[in-house]
Amino acid sequence: MLDPVQYKDWQIAEEAEKTLPPVRDFIARMGLEEEEIIPYGRTPKLDFIRIMDRLKDKPDGKYIEVTAITPTPLGEGKSTTSLGLIEGLGKLGKNAGGCLRQPSGGPTMNVKGTAAGGGNALLIPMTEFSLGLTGDINDITNAHNLGMAALNARMQHERNYDDERLAKIGIRRLDIDPDRIQWNFVMDFCCQALRKMEIGLGEGKMDGYRMMTRTNIAVSSELMAILSVAVDLGDLRERIGKIVLAYDRKGNPVTAEDLEVAGAMTAWMRNTINPTLCYTVEHQPCLVHAGPFANIAIGQSSIIGDRLGLKLFDYHVTESGFAADIGFEKFWNVKCRLSGLKPHVSVVVATIRALKMHGGGPKVLPGRPLPEEYTKENLALLEKGCENLFHHVKNVQMSGIRPVVCINQFYTDTEAEIELIRSLCQEAGVRCALSSHWQNGGEGALELAQAVVDACEEPSELKYLYDLDLPLRERVERIATKVYGADGVDWEPLAIKKAERFESDPKYADYCTMMVKTHLSLSHDPDLKGVPKNWRLPIRDILEYGGARFLCPMAGSISMMPGTGSNPAYRRVDVDTRTGKVSGLF
């Protein structure tokens, strides 16, 4: 085990990969059969349908979700904690594993870095995991952009050809309204220059249909949402067919099925349905399926991944993106509702660094040195910041799930700071555990692992925040006031117009509510830290995901395409041209 204070993550990963057992050892250890493995080198896919068919009568293991407080821009270490917890459970002799989300190239090459965890709680093989893995995000990107290519081509041909010419080639005029295009392009990097663009600028009539559009980050695609909630390939195909790419001039939806592109989009995504097998640096198995960004997407590992993990492991760890106001809220009211799965415990990850920020500490800026308030003892800032921690604990308790607070320990944390959090948790009647998994791997996570095992034995009763018969605006009001702590919701005219249409049409009655909001604050304003008071949530628009069956209210000015910072990670990534090994990932 290497000291993460002295060695970089990619160096720790490289060392752990030297002793990684062959795939056949994991097949035997997990009780899998050879025909249930789809080979992809050290990261095979698992044939979900075959395995579930064989294990359908096996009881599920314990279901453990990992969430967090409102993070700094550097993150709170949920993936690190998830992997450390799996390692700690392994040290306790438990059959443990998990399912994490595949990282996006956007943050991997930007200021946040990969989602492989860190230190001695890291996912391997790290390079493959961080740079495309078995191609799921690439397949989603291609399938999504194929849909956009089909839409724009159809608009061009309908403009250029009369009905008789279209009929000769078997095309029905869709009469797409250019002012009601719902679709766009996607790419898996952060590129603020593509948030708004005009296409079809060629001089000839065959150079496409001229229109304004944009490019979003790939993992925010509705196709990623569909992959997260689909139950099998048939369900994936059906949902893709129902994606609404535009509306016609009469107000009718134009779907992927109408454009006759749904089958081809599914063909691109046919392999994405099966989770990929990866490992911790201590050689514990961990599945990877679906993608990140709970602020602008569902931000959950998939229902398929969790169903599979609960059959393969006695203790299955899953992770929700960002904090308990965003990722956990979607896990609780969307993912659990759609899957029918009931968690035993939720781990709320907190760092002393972030709690000090929420107590009034200076701004934390990626790529710049931390102010000394975060590396020296400051009990006053810490105690004030714990208001944010207990707000998120309350969110978990509202769901009926047992919370366990995890102090994700940094080597700069002091004993007095740790003891302060412990005592505040004790006063609140909340189970709390210290974990040094980043520095010490599974040994450092033993206290957390035991606390989770104990909490799993206590009764819990999942209860949703709202029933599906509650109208959309009332759902949003409840989420804003109960989960975020807002005084109410303010709807802009466009959002009101859309909400009225969705609420009046029975077709949308059972659509899930998927909020789009900044992850850097409980509010819509990323600069409001701690637990903001006396504020209202502004909703400017509502996105429609017809295939995923989501309605997505957009709060504040959040963008579906993040921007690349001034000191991005790609500046430090390179390849050894002799060995092909990648360095600089973090």
Q: Is the pLDDT of residue 326 over 90?
A: yes
Q: What is the rounded CA–CA span in Å between residue 336 and residue 100?
A: 16
**DSSP-derived 3-state class of residue 340:** coil
Q: DSSP characters for 1-45?
A: ---TTTS-HHHHHHHHHHTPPPHHHHHHHTT--GGGEE-BTBS-E
Burial of 8 (0-12, 13-18, 19+ CB in 10 A): middle
Q: Which residues of 37-75 are buried (b: 16+ CB within 10 A; e: fewer)?
A: bbebebbbbbbbebbbeebeeeebbbbbbbbbbbbbbbb
Q: Is residue 235 part of a domain?
A: yes
DSSP 271: G
Residues 177-214 have pLDDT tens digits of: 999 999 999 999 999 999 999 999 998 889 999 999 99
78 among known catalytic residues: yes
Q: Is residue 255 part of a domain?
A: yes
322 among known catalytic residues: yes
Q: Is residue 530 part of a domain?
A: yes
Q: Among the three residues 261, 278, 299, which one is the final residue of a domain in this structure?
A: 261
Q: Is residue 446 part of a domain?
A: no
Q: Among the three residues 225, 245, 261, which one is the final residue of a domain in this structure?
A: 261
Rounded mean pLDDT of the chain?
Answer: 95
- Above pLDDT 90, what percent of the chain? 89
Lowest mean pLDDT among 36-40, 311-315, 356-360, 557-561: 557-561
Q: What is the pLDDT of residue 366?
A: 74
Q: Is residue 128 part of a domain?
A: no
Catalytic: which of 45, 112, 335, 473? Answer: 112
H or E, element range at 50: helix 48-55
Distances in Å between the Cα of 91 and the Cα atoms of 84, 178, 410, 423 are: 10, 59, 21, 27
Beta carbons of 173 and 166 less than 8 angstroms apart = yes
185 among known catalytic residues: no
pLDDT band at 41 (very low <50, low <70, confident <90, very high): very high
Give the domain extent around 488: 472-555
pLDDT band at 347 (very low <50, low <70, confident <90, very high): very high
Q: How many C-beta neighbours within 10 Å does residue 173 have?
A: 14
Burial of 276 (0-12, 13-18, 19+ CB in 10 A): buried
Q: What is the pLDDT of residue 73?
A: 84
Across the range 517-542, mean pLDDT stands at: 96
CATH number of residue 200's parent domain: 3.30.1510.10
Q: Among the three residues 261, 295, 316, which one is the final residue of a domain in this structure?
A: 261
Residues 125-165 have pLDDT tens digits of: 999 999 999 999 999 999 999 999 999 999 999 999 999 99
571 among known catalytic residues: no
Catalytic: which of 80, 108, 114, 351? Answer: 80
Distances in Å between the Cα of 184 and the Cα atoms of 148, 273, 457, 498, 551 are: 6, 23, 47, 19, 17
> What are the structure tokens assigned to 445, written together?
């996570």
Q: What is the rounded CA–CA span in Å between residue 185 and residue 181?
A: 12
CATH number of residue 478's parent domain: 3.10.410.10
548 among known catalytic residues: no
Across the range 559-573, mean pLDDT stands at: 90
Across the range 478-489, mean pLDDT stands at: 98
Catalytic: which of 78, 94, 311, 356? Answer: 78
**Non-local CB neighbours of 429 within 8 Å, separated by 6+ positions:** none
**190: nearest Cα among 575, 568, 562:** 562
Catalytic: which of 42, 264, 410, 564? Answer: 410
129 among known catalytic residues: no
Residues 245-299 have pLDDT tens digits of: 999 999 999 999 999 999 999 999 999 999 999 999 999 999 999 988 778 788 8
Q: Is residue 160 part of a domain?
A: yes
Q: Is residue 62 part of a domain?
A: no
Q: What is the rounded CA–CA span in Å between residue 573 and residue 564?
A: 15
Q: Is the pLDDT of residue 75 over 90?
A: no
Q: Rounded to the nearest 5 degrees, what angle is found at the Cα of 484, between the Cα atoms of 478 and 489?
A: 55
Radius of gyration of the chain (CA): 24
Beta carbons of 438 and 4 less than 8 angstroms apart = yes
Q: Is the pLDDT of residue 111 over 90?
A: no
Q: Is the pLDDT of residue 515 over 90?
A: yes
H or E, element range at 244: strand 244-248
Beta carbons of 332 and 392 less than 8 angstroms apart = no
pTM of the prediction? Answer: 0.94
> What are the structure tokens assigned to 507, written together?
């077709």
Catalytic: which of 290, 294, 451, 480? Answer: 294
Q: What is the pLDDT of residue 272?
A: 97
Q: What is the pLDDT of residue 185?
A: 97
| HSE toward the beta carbon, residue 336, CA cutoff 13 A | 26
Q: What is the pLDDT of residue 444?
A: 98
518 among known catalytic residues: no
Q: Is residue 157 part of a domain?
A: yes
Beta carbons of 185 and 561 less than 8 angstroms apart = no
**98: nearest Cα among 266, 317, 292, 245:** 317
58 among known catalytic residues: no
Q: How many domains does the chain have?
A: 2
pLDDT band at 227 (very low <50, low <70, confident <90, very high): very high
Across the range 11-22, mean pLDDT stands at: 96
Q: What is the rounded CA–CA span in Å between residue 445 and residue 451?
A: 10
Phi and psi at 379, nearest 5°, equal: -70, -30
Residues 421-447 have pLDDT tens digits of: 999 999 999 999 999 999 999 999 999
Q: Is the pLDDT of residue 534 over 90?
A: yes
Q: What is the rounded CA–CA span in Å between residue 279 and residue 41?
A: 13
Q: What is the pLDDT of residue 30?
A: 97
**Non-local CB neighbours of 166 within 8 Å, separated by 6+ positions:** 157, 158, 172, 173
Q: Rounded to the nearest 5 degrees, what angle is found at the Cα of 140, between the Cα atoms of 43 and 42?
A: 5
Q: DSSP characters for 526-563?
A: TT--SS--S--EEEEEEEEETTTTEEEEEETT--SS--
Catalytic: which of 189, 293, 328, 438? Answer: 438
- Above pLDDT 70, what percent of the chain? 100
**DSSP-derived 3-state class of residue 412:** coil
3-state helix/strand/coil string of 89-155: HHHCCCCEEEEECCCCHHHHCCCCCCCCEECCEEEECHHHHHCCCCCHHHHHHHHHHHHHHHHHHHH
Q: What is the pLDDT of residue 78?
A: 93
